């Protein structure tokens, strides 16, 4: 296609011609474009369906410094405008819309956004339009991104939006730690997403789950759900390892984050929302997290108090509930976890278990206002508002959920997602009913004796994502 990989010559026309040719094979077995060793400078280009982009070892796709090669496109409907500026936004370096079966992979080749030009525009406040992403795939399904290094994105690095069945794995994502808004991976109004085995250094969130901005996100109502994040490590001195929100107006639910290692960062896990967002964040599981020199290991709070325009609704309050945090170890944090709700929209059903803070620099042990809940086996002793179990209905009758290996899980009166088979319940009082409901069946047990172990006997579904189940308990009478 006439490309020249000398690091100088523009290959925009060559990539565009190649992609035009590849569209001939959509629905006919697909096609693969191999990018050989060399530095291939290009402006934005669109990929197609039934397509593989493969970067060989030593291959670099480099973003053009000519801003004209990053055209302006319409804003996302769930945002109503560019995220940084009114009106449209610059297209991503690699872009796709309305696609099926796309693979972007290689032998650890590199895609470099050449972002410094864009960062200076942001620092100097001379941006006219919102910066483009390194990779954005829209309205698509069956997407695989793997085995590559992404560097120096102008804005958010990988941005799947309105997509389903997305796998991002074995990726290295790098940006200078002062590069503004260079999020690593931002699934946005997406379902069935798996992010695993990635290393990220960023000037913003390593991973941020989103679903639209204020009234535009609420109107579109495209949630992010069924997202699994595991075995991710990295650092971000200004933001969080995993952020949920603050653009969450379409709703975010059924998220599992496990086996993270975050270091030298501002926050480990952050849930952020705000007045005007509306929407919901619910059914979040965070487990097996290790942090080192993270300023605030866990933070739930309001965001930046920013809105797309004057049409936002000050009465649109977000709902945050059913957040389960287990097996967290944080070394050398400056502050203890900070959980700050919103007046009129309290955060509900937050449970933390086996959270250990070692080398904590803060001398304040507890500071509690406007809360209620239950605590046991906590040191130092919690504030009085958390010393009564009167409001913890489930804890009164269930000691917890257990795998058959007796590894503890959390029980709650809500929905869960687990893929293992064979659960047990350990009651604290008797008699009571214990009910498990899935989409396909219901199972009820009557327990007569304290300490009885009851097998729930769930099954593993034939899908990437386990079938949700709802548990409840009460007196047998």
Annotated catalytic residues are 204
Rounded Cα gap, residues 234 and 172, in angstroms: 10
Helix (H, G, I), strand (E, B) or coil at 394: helix
Say which residue the tokens 């309105």 belong to: 162
456-476 burial code (b ≥16 CB/10 A, e <16): bebeeeeeebbbbbebbbeee
Instruction: For the sheet with 158-161, list strands across it.
Output: 45-46, 94-97, 135-138, 158-161
d(CA 306, CA 363): 33
Are 374 and 389 a contacting pair, CB within 8 Å?
A: yes
Query: Using an 8 Å Cβ cutoff, are 102 and 51 in contact?
Result: yes
Residue bearing tokens 């020199």: 293
- Residues 365, 371 contacting (CB under 8 angstroms): no
Distance CA 189, CA 78 (A): 9
Burial class (CB in 10 A: 0-12, 13-18, 19+), 25: middle
Whole-angstrom Cα distance, residue 286 to residue 244? 12
Other beta carbons less than 10 A from residue 451's beta carbon? 10
The gap between the terminal CA atoms of the chain, to the nearest Å, is 76
């Amino acid at each position: 296609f006439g490309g020249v990989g000398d690091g100088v010559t523009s290959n925009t026309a060559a990539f565009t011609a190649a992609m035009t040719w590849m569209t001939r094979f959509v629905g006919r077995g697909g096609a693969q474009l191999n990018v050989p060793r060399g530095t291939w400078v290009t402006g934005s280009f669109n990929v197609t369906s039934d397509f593989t982009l493969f970067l060989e070892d030593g291959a670099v796709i480099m973003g053009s410094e000519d801003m004209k090669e990053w055209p302006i496109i319409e804003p996302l409907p769930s945002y109503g405008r560019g995220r940084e500026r009114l009106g449209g936004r610059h297209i991503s370096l690699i872009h796709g819309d309305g696609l099926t079966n796309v693979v972007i992979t290689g032998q650890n080749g590199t895609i470099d956004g050449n972002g410094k030009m864009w960062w200076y525009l942001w620092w100097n406040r001379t941006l006219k339009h919102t910066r483009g992403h390194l990779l954005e795939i829209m309205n698509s399904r069956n997407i695989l991104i793997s085995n590559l290094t992404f560097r120096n994105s102008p804005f958010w690095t990988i941005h799947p939006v309105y997509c389903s069945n997305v796998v991002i794995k074995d990726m290295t994502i790098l940006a200078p730690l002062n590069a503004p808004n260079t999020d690593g991976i931002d699934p946005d109004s997406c379902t069935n997403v798996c992010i695993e085995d990635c290393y990220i250094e960023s000037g913003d969130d390593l991973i941020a789950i989103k679903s639209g901005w204020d009234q535009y996100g609420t109107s579109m109502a495209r949630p992010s759900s069924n997202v699994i994040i595991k075995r991710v490590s990295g650092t971000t001195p200004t933001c969080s390892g995993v952020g949920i929100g603050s653009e969450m107006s379409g709703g975010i639910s059924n998220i599992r984050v496990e086996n993270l290692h975050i270091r030298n960062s501002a926050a480990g896990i952050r849930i952020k929302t705000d007045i005007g967002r509306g929407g919901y964040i619910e059914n979040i599981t965070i487990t097996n997290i290790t942090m080192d020199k993270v300023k605030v290991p866990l933070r739930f709070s309001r965001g930046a108090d920013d809105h797309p325009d004057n049409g936002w609704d000050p009465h649109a309050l977000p709902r945050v509930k059913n957040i389960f945090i287990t097996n967290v170890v944080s070394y050398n944090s400056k502050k203890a976890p900070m959980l700050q709700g919103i007046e009129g929209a309290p955060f509900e059903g937050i449970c933390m278990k086996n959270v250990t803070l070692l080398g904590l620099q803060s001398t304040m042990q507890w500071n509690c206002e406007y809360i209620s809940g239950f605590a046991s086996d906590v040191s130092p002793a919690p504030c009085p508002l958390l010393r009564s179990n009167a409001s913890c209905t489930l804890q009164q009758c269930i000691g917890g959920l257990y795998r058959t290996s007796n590894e503890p899980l959390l029980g709650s009166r809500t929905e869960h997602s687990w893929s293992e088979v064979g659960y047990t319940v350990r009651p604290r009082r008797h008699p009571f009913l214990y009910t498990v409901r899935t989409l396909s069946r219901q199972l009820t047990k009557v327990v007569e004796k304290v300490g009885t172990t009851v097998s729930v006997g769930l099954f593993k579904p034939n899908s990437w994502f386990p079938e949700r189940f709802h548990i409840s308990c009460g007196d047998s009478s």
